[in-house]
Amino acid sequence: YDISADKGERSRDRHKSRSKDSRSEKSVTINTPPAEPLLGDSSVRGEQVQDDNWGETTTAVTGTSEHSLSQEDIVRITKDLEDSVGLDCRRYVTRTIAVILGLLVFLTPLAFLVLPHILWPEKLQSCGTACEGLYISVAFKLLILLLAVWALFFRPARAGLPRVFVFRVLLAVLVFLFVVSYWLFYSVRILDSQDDNYQGIVQYAVSLVDALLFIHYLAVVLLELRQLQPCFSVCVTRSSDGETRHYNLGQLSIQRAALAIIEHYYCDFPIHNPALLSASKSRAAKHLAGLKVYNVDGPGNNAAAGMAQSQSRAMIAAAARRRDTSHNELYYEEAEHERRVRKRRARLVVAVEEAFTHIKRMQEEEPKKAPGDVMDPREAAQAIFPSMARALQKYLRTTKQQHCHSMESIQQHLAFCITNNMTPKAFLESYLTPGPTLQYGKDHWLGRRWTLISEASVTNGLKDGSVFVLKCVDFSLVVTAKKIPYIQMSEEYIDPKSHKFVLRLQSETSV
Amino acid sequence: MSFVPGKPVTAVVQIIEIQKLRQGDNLILGFSIGGGIDQDPGQNPVSEDKSDMGIYVTRITPGGPAEVADLRVGDKIMQVNGWDMTVVTHDQARKRLTKKNEKVVRLLITRKSL
C-alpha cells in the first residue's frame, strides 16, 4: 500500500473566527504503509498550519505571527510539504521516536545498576545474597518486558490513519514522563549524594521495571481490550448498488472504526461491478429525455435562480404526467435476461461436468503409462479447458463478469481445483456468484486509497448516530452507527416438578 | 349460553319427548351427545359458545326416534327427566339418558332460535 495524506482545505471549526457558512468538513485519506509502529505526528504539523491560519484570518492582533500569509499560501505550503516529504517522513519520525523511547526504557534500569559501580566503586557496599536475587528478578522482568513490547507494538501496521492514534501518544508521553522522573530522582538523590546502599539502588531499579510492566498492562487494556466489547452496531451501505451489511464494533475512534469497516468490506462485500449499473443509468436518462422547457414569458422576468427552479419543477411535473410504460419494458427485459442466464448456466454446468470426466487421478498401482500420457495439474487443466471455454465465456458475458476473470486466472483456478480433487460444482462456484473483492486479482482492488469524510473529528469516539463516508474511486460506503441498547435481564425460576399435563378430550356417545 | 358462576342460568327451553326404540337388547334414542364438564369445550363442534361445558346433540340418526320428535343437531340438553344436564360429566349424561327402566325421556332443550 502507498499513501498520500491530504488535509482538508477549509479550516477547523474550533477556531471561532470561522463564519458559520464554511462547514468544517474534514477530508482525510486512509492508507496502508508496511510498518508504522507507534506514532503519527501529522497533527503536530497540522497544528502549526492551523495556528498560522487562525492568526491570519481574525481581526484581533495576537502578536504571535510576524509574517503575513494569506490562506492560499498556507494551503499551498502544506500541500508542497506533504507532496515532497510525503508520508515517508511521518513514518521515519514515528520509527525514530519509537526506537528512542524503547532504548530509553530498556537501558535505564541497566544504567541505574551500572553507574554506581563506575562512579564510586570504593564506597559501594558489596552486593549480598538478597541483592543478587534481585539481579535475577531484574533480568527476567526486563526479558518479559522486551517480549511483551515486541508482541504488542512491533507488529506490521495494517494501515496509515490520518490522525494520530491518541492512546498511543498518551502512553508514549506517560512512559517518557515516568522514566524522566525516575532519572530525576536518581540523579538528585543517588548520583549527587553518592549513596552507598547498593541494595537500595537495586531495589529502585526493580521498582522501575515493575512500574514499566504495569504501564504495559495499561497499554494492553487501552489499545486491545477496550474495543472488544461490542457497543455499536454500524450499518454500511455501498452507494453504487445498495449492498448493506451490519457489523458490531466496540468503543473506537472514528478512524479506527473506519479501518475495521474497510477490512470487513474486503471480505464480505461482493465485488463492485460497474457493468451492472449501466442499465439503471440509461433508464434514468430516458425519463427526462424528450422534455424540453421553453420560457415563453421572455427575458428579464425572474432572477436566474427562480427561473431554474421553475424550469425543473415544470420538468418534474411533465414527467410525472406523461404516461410512462418503461416499467413494462423493465419487467419483460428482466424476465428475458433471467431466462437467458439460466439457459447459459445450464449449458455451462453440463460442459464442465463433461470436461471433468475426462480427467482421472492416476493411481500408483496402475501400470505405468507412457510419459506423454502422464500430466501435471497445469497440463491437465490446459487439456480440458478448451471444451468448456466457450460455454464459460458466454456465461460470463451474459452476467457481465468477463472483465473480472482472465483466461490465465481461469486456467489457474482449474488446475487448483483438479489438484485438490474438487467437483465441477466446486470449480464453478467462484464464477456463478460474485465473490468478495479479495478473491479477485490484485488489479481489481481499485480502492486501496480510501478517503474518510466526516463531520466530527476523526479522533472522536463513535457516538450514537455518527455518520461518515468512506470514499473510493468508483463508489463510497456510507456508515451509520447506532448504540446497542442497554439490556435489562431478569430471571424466573421454574420448578422442574411444575411441568404437568392433562388430556383434553371431546367424546361423542350415541344413545 | 355461558353461565356466570353463582348466578342462576336462564334460558328459553322447549320440551321434547322421545320414545325409546327397542333394538335387540338395547333401548336407543337415535342421537349422539357431546360435551361435559370433563371434556374440552373448545373442541365441541356444535356449540355456539366454546367455553360452554353443557351437553349438546352432535348427531341425529335419520329416521330415529329423536328425529321424529324434532330434536335437532346443536341443541343443548338442559334436563333429562328432571335430572340436570348442565353440570355433568359425559359419562353421567350418558347414564341418565340410557336408563334401562325408562321408556320415555323428557328433554328440556334450548337452542338459539328459540
Q: Among B33, B38, B42, select the one facing A509 at the smallest CB separation.
A: B33
pLDDT of residue A49: 41
Q: Name the closest residue on chain A to residue B55, using Cα atoms.
A: A508
Last residue of a domain, one of A404, A433, A462: A433
A507 touches B34 (CB < 8 A): yes
Residue A470 in grid coordinates? 468512506
Q: Name the closest residue on chain B to residue A504, using Cα atoms.
A: B40
Query: Which residue in A501, A502, A504, A510 has the most chain B C-beta atoms within 10 A of its own C-beta, making it the best mutation to test that interface?
Result: A510
Residue A491 in any domain: the answer is: no
Residue A160 CB partners (closer than 8 Å, separation 6+): A1, A3, A5, A30, A31, A32, A33, A36, A40, A87, A91
By the 10 Å C-beta count (0-12 exposed, 13-18 middle, 19+ buried), A413 is classed as middle
Q: Among B42, B58, B61, select the one facing A508 at the smallest CB separation.
A: B58
Mean pLDDT confidence for B21-46: 90
DSSP state of A277: G
Do A204 and A332 belong together in one domain?
A: no
Query: Which residue in B31, B37, B39 has the most chain A C-beta atoms within 10 A of its own C-beta, making it the best mutation to test that interface?
Result: B39
Per-residue pLDDT of chain A (511 residues; tens, 9 = 90+): 333 334 433 334 344 444 444 444 444 445 444 444 444 433 334 334 445 555 556 565 544 555 555 555 665 665 555 555 556 677 788 888 888 999 999 999 999 988 888 888 887 788 788 888 999 999 999 999 999 999 988 887 777 788 888 888 999 999 999 999 999 999 998 888 888 888 888 999 999 999 999 999 999 999 889 989 999 999 999 998 899 999 999 999 999 999 999 999 988 988 888 888 877 777 777 776 666 666 676 665 555 556 667 777 777 777 666 666 778 888 998 999 999 999 999 999 999 999 998 888 877 766 666 666 778 889 889 989 999 999 999 999 998 888 888 889 999 999 999 999 999 999 999 898 888 888 887 766 655 788 999 998 888 889 999 999 999 888 899 999 999 999 999 999 999 999 999 888 888 998 8
Range with the poorest average pLDDT among A17-21, A368-372, B57-61, B74-78: A17-21
Last residue of a domain, one of A188, A205, A227: A227
Closest CA relative to residue A158, chosen from A269, A255, A271, A83: A255
Do A327 and A217 belong together in one domain?
A: no
Residue A355 CB partners (closer than 8 Å, separation 6+): A384, A385, A387, A388, A424
Q: Among B31, B38, B40, select the one facing A511 at the smallest CB separation.
A: B31
Q: Note whether A510 contacts B59, CB cutoff 8 Å.
A: yes
CA distance, residue A500 to nearest chain B CA (Å): 17
pLDDT of residue A145: 93
Residue A181 in grid coordinates? 522522573
Mean pLDDT confidence for B40-57: 89
Q: Note whether A506 contacts B44, CB cutoff 8 Å.
A: yes
Taking CB atoms within 8 Å and a gap of at least 24, the contacts of A128-135 are A128/A199, A130/A199, A131/A198, A131/A199, A131/A202, A134/A199, A134/A202, A134/A203, A134/A206, A135/A202
For chain B, the farthest-separated pair of C-alpha atoms sits apart, in whole angstroms, at 44
Residue A196 in any domain: the answer is: yes
Residues of chain B positioned with their CB less than 8 A from the CB of A504? 39-40, 42-43
Residue A429 in any domain: the answer is: yes
pLDDT of residue A465: 92
Number of domains, chain A: 2
The letter for the amino acid at A97 is I
Q: Give dist(CA B39, CA B45) in Å, integer.
A: 12
Residue A453 in any domain: the answer is: no
CA distance, residue B105 to nearest chain A CA (Å): 12
By the 10 Å C-beta count (0-12 exposed, 13-18 middle, 19+ buried), B112 is classed as exposed
Domain with A221 in it:
72-227
B72 touches B114 (CB < 8 A): no
pLDDT of residue A56: 56
Do A205 and A97 belong together in one domain?
A: yes
A478 touches A54 (CB < 8 A): no
Residue A29 in any domain: the answer is: no
Q: Give dist(CA A117, CA A124) in Å, integer.
A: 7
Could you tell me how many CB contacts below 8 A there are between chain A and chain B?
A: 43
Residue A165 in any domain: the answer is: yes
Do A219 and A333 belong together in one domain?
A: no
HSE value, Cβ hemisphere, 13 Å, CA-based, for A430 = 19
Pairing of strands B83-84, A232-238: unpaired
Strands (E), A239-328: 244-249
Do A324 and A216 belong together in one domain?
A: no
The letter for the amino acid at A233 is S
Last residue of a domain, one of A417, A433, A449: A433
Do A82 and A213 belong together in one domain?
A: yes
Mean pLDDT confidence for B78-82: 92
Q: Note whether B34 contacts A507, CB cutoff 8 Å.
A: yes
CA-based angle A338:A343:A349, to the nearest 5? 120
Residues of B in CB contact (< 8 Å) with A are 28-29, 31-36, 38-40, 42-45, 58-59, 61, 90, 94, 97-98
pLDDT of residue A366: 63
Do A210 and A336 belong together in one domain?
A: no
Residues of chain A positioned with their CB less than 8 A from the CB of B38? 505
Residue B3 CB partners (closer than 8 Å, separation 6+): B9, B52, B86
Residue A357 in any domain: the answer is: yes
Q: Note whether B44 contacts A505, CB cutoff 8 Å.
A: no
pLDDT of residue A35: 41
Residue A468 in any domain: the answer is: no
CA distance, residue B11 to nearest chain A CA (Å): 24
Residues of A in CB contact (< 8 Å) with B are 504-511
Q: Give dist(CA A303, CA A135) in Å, integer.
A: 87
A413 touches A427 (CB < 8 A): yes
